[in-house]
Chains A and B, each alone.
Chain A
């Protein structure tokens, strides 16, 4: 390890409105090193990554690259210097071909070029990420999500970066593609490049990282060698306490008659129809790798995913919702995975968000009844420590979870299907949410 780290950030603080994302956090990485960056959601990883990549200038603190103080005006400048970032969200243009996406912006992009020429230039990089079989002139929208992520990485390495930031690169990938990414990271390291690897997957972190930096609540720990840690110690560092007493005790569940019977439900994309029972007062966990069908099952029950058949039986009635509206009418509440996309009405007051699925109940013959509406929403908002008068524009996604969940209370529902509800919410909020939910039932 070189004495002087290639990249060093010290005492970084950043706030968004009233929310403090980073408090005096530090980060460093040396040449030819793979540094893992871990922390639970809300700890400040994305913020730190954005600052390193030059996407954010609203921070205080020092930024040293290659011994000099830097202040990147834009990510393009950072890229010119050699710092590239592959974000979690895809930034490919679906209407353009793969080759055009790889050579879209940045220094190495020729001003005059035909598509054929770009295709030729793109070939070696596609092979590097394991997409040698893909035609560079193919429309990007026709590739699978995993392949698209790999194209994004190919775009990155096409610009020959010195420091590569990979933000959850394998989150959307299956096993084979993930291995390809890890192999590629190793090759980059051998080539003298530095890689910042942000991930939740502990096994990958320990497989390829030399050192690990932990972020917790906006503060950073000094980086430790991966060899000196194991999963438990890492998790403890991330959370700051042991996992054991976080969640409330389980209540006993009588499994006499199922409350919800799922029979031969067959959402699109799933291999086999699925059946299971859920009993009253029970929290049923659905676990599986990406693509195993967990999200699709929940989507089908919620009425937002198309199905090829199946029935749900709830409270004695057989039905199969084809629209979310029908699911809601039958008493099902759904908390989605990407709440910023379809879970929140950003810009509308929290009160409106809370009452959105249950407008009929809070209204009196078409007129919103101020009394019911305010009292019901306030009651639930307080339960989840949310101020109902505020506007969710500045609320981070960790609060989005409870905002979406409660509206069903007064519909006397007993069901909640919530895929990866914890994504984006800190453990403490999830804990209080679960505690609240149990209490209500």
Chain B
């Protein structure tokens, strides 16, 4: 019990994220009888697949002190490439090409962000639009569609009750990236450049390596997400998938990532995504219109912000209290010495 308490105090944001997730899930499980079924679970994990990827990617970016605004466009481009060229090249080749393109786009962005020493938000504002244009080109302004619908069926096969090839793949990604961030030196570099950019560079960390890695992962996740959506639904629109950026960012924050960078983790990303998914799916049961979902998401985000701000304020107060307590303690220890000094200066 004591250890749990200690862990909660050490990881307030993550604990709150877990609490939120459980709360939201329980709320819907109680109010909606159909919520607590296998099929809902499956639907949740299906949704989790794409949103989870984006949430993971954006969590990584925010940990590194940056953000990838082009993730939606990147995903849309990947979807378009996959769907458009499946008929010509076969699904496997098409999706491999899409993944390669998406990852390279990410890596190139990471390189320029490091080389030009600019904030990622500045560059990705432009690339967001640039990639949309490229996607429009690739799709030749139309909505592209698959002709062979066996593939979407395969992608959505139920496995182990809740999962499909897509969601299993995504879970594997989470595990891999999580291990990478926690147990490798390159993962720590990412935490470093986000936590304290100036100090990290002063310690000798080259900016390019972690930046390229982060944005390459982001590109890969965007690409994989686009591929999954494209193959699953059998269609792709060049201008679509823009909601992924906002949804992914909300998921990342709900998962406890700190906007200041350097803090957060893959587990938080997963939990944040799950919470958003619970909310989404639960509201679908309620036949809530899409705009209300936005409203609830906004409220959820504000709740998380208030909690994070509150815990920061609490931290500040604690620190001041510790400082003052320490001062008082030293006063009582040194009271004789103080009197002596006073007597001397007289």
Are A and B co-members of a single complex?
Answer: yes
- Give chain A's interface residues, CB within 8 Å of chain B: 74-76, 79, 87, 89-96, 100-101, 103-106, 109-115, 155, 268-272, 306, 308
Is the beta-carbon distance between A269 and B184 smaller than 8 angstroms?
no
Using CB atoms, name the residue of chain A closest to B326.
A269
A77 to chain B, nearest CB (A): 10
Residue of A93, A112, A155, A308 touching B200 (CB-CB under 8 A): A93
Cα(A111)–Cα(B189), bound, Å: 11
Residue in contact with B191 in the complex, picked from A74, A93, A269, CB distance below 8 Å:
A93
B203 — which chain A residues lie within 8 A by C-beta? 91-93, 101, 104-105, 155
Cross-chain contact A114 with B183 (CB below 8 angstroms): yes
Minimal beta-carbon separation of B314 from chain A (angstroms): 15
**Contact of B323 with A by CB under 8 A:** yes
| A95 touching B195 in the complex, CB below 8 Å, given contacts A105-B189, A109-B185, A113-B185 | yes
Determine if A110 and B204 form an interchain contact, defined as CB atoms under 8 angstroms apart. no
* Contact A89 to B188, CB < 8 A, known contacts A95-B263, A269-B323: no
Does the CB pair B202–A87 fall under 8 Å? yes
B262 engages A76 (CB within 8 Å): no
The answer to whether residues A93 and B183 also contact, given A104-B188, A268-B323 and a CB cut-off of 8 A, is no
Q: Which residues of B contact A (CB under 8 A)?
A: 182-186, 188-189, 191-192, 194-196, 198-200, 202-206, 261-263, 320, 323-324, 327, 330-331, 334, 338
The residue in chain A whose Cβ has the minimal distance to the Cβ of B330 is A271
A268 to B328, CA, bound (A): 11
**B320 and A93 contacting across the interface, CB-CB below 8 Å:** no
With a cutoff of 8 Å between Cβ atoms, the chain A residues found around residue B202 in the complex are: 87, 89, 91
**Residues in A whose Cβ lies below 8 Å from that of B338:** 271-272
Distance, CA A308 to CA B202, complexed state (A): 37
Q: With A and B bound together, what is the CA distance between A198 and B263 in angstroms? A: 35
Instruction: Choose among A106, A112, A270, A272 the residue that contacts B183 (Cβ–Cβ < 8 A).
Output: A112
Q: Are B204 and A105 in contact (CB under 8 A)?
A: yes
Given contact pairs A92-B203, A95-B194, A105-B204, a sample of 14 additional A-B residue pairs in the complex whose CB atoms are under 8 Å apart: A90-B199, A91-B200, A92-B196, A93-B191, A93-B196, A93-B262, A94-B196, A94-B262, A104-B204, A110-B185, A111-B186, A112-B184, A271-B327, A271-B331
In the complex, which residue of chain B has the Cβ closest to the Cβ of A266? B327
Query: Distance in Å from the Cβ of A390 to the closest Cβ of chain B?
Result: 24
Most buried by A among B196, B203, B320: B203
User: Could you give 26 example pairs across A and B, Cβ below 8 Å?
Assistant: A74-B204, A75-B204, A76-B206, A87-B202, A89-B202, A90-B199, A91-B199, A91-B200, A94-B196, A95-B191, A95-B261, A96-B191, A96-B262, A100-B188, A103-B185, A105-B189, A105-B203, A106-B204, A111-B184, A111-B186, A113-B183, A268-B324, A268-B327, A269-B323, A271-B327, A271-B330
CB distance A308 to B183 under 8 Å? no
- Nearest-CB residue, chain A, relative to B63: A95
Q: Which residues of A contact B320 (CB under 8 A)?
A: 268, 306
Q: Is the CB of B330 within 8 A of A93?
A: no
Known: A95-B195, A269-B323, A271-B331. A76 touches B188 (CB 8 A): no
Q: In whole angstroms, what is the CA distance A76 to B204 when docked?
A: 6
B192-A104 in contact (CB<8A): yes
Query: Is there contact, CB below 8 Å, between B196 and A111?
Result: no
The list of the 9 closest CB pairs from A to B, nearest first, reads A95-B195, A95-B262, A91-B202, A105-B204, A91-B199, A105-B205, A93-B192, A93-B195, A93-B196
Q: Are B205 and A104 in contact (CB under 8 A)?
A: yes
- Given A104-B188, A105-B204 in contact, is the A308-B324 Cβ separation under 8 Å? yes
Chain A residues in 8 Å Cβ range of B331:
271-272
Q: How far is the CB of A18 from chain B (nearest CB, A)?
A: 24
CB distance from A376 to the nearest CB of B (A): 36
Closest residue of chain B to A76 (Cβ to Cβ) is B204
Give the interface centre of B198, B204, B262, B323 by most chain A CB atoms within 10 Å. Answer: B204
The docked-state distance in angstroms from the alpha carbon of A264 to that of B183 is 53
Residues in A neighbouring B186, C-beta threshold 8 A: 111
Q: A137 to chain B: closest CB distance in Å?
A: 11
Residue numbers in B under 8 Å from A308 (CB-CB): 324
Contact residue among B188, B204, B334 (Cβ-Cβ distance under 8 Å from A96): B188
Q: Report the Cα distance A101→B189, complex, angstroms.
A: 10
A contact residues around B330 at 8 Å (CB): 271
**B182 CB contacts on chain A under 8 angstroms:** 114-115
Check B183–A92 contact: CB distance below 8 A.
Answer: no
Contacts of A95 in B (CB 8 A): 191, 194-196, 261-263
Q: Within 8 Å CB of A74, what residues of B?
A: 204, 206
In angstroms, how far is the closest chain A Cβ from the Cβ of B147?
46
Separation of A74 and B261 alpha carbons in the complex (Å): 26
- B262: min CB distance to chain A, Å: 4
Interface centre among B189, B194, B202 (most CB of A within 10 A): B202
Determine the chain B residues whose CB is within 8 A of the CB of A96 once the complex forms.
188, 191-192, 195, 262
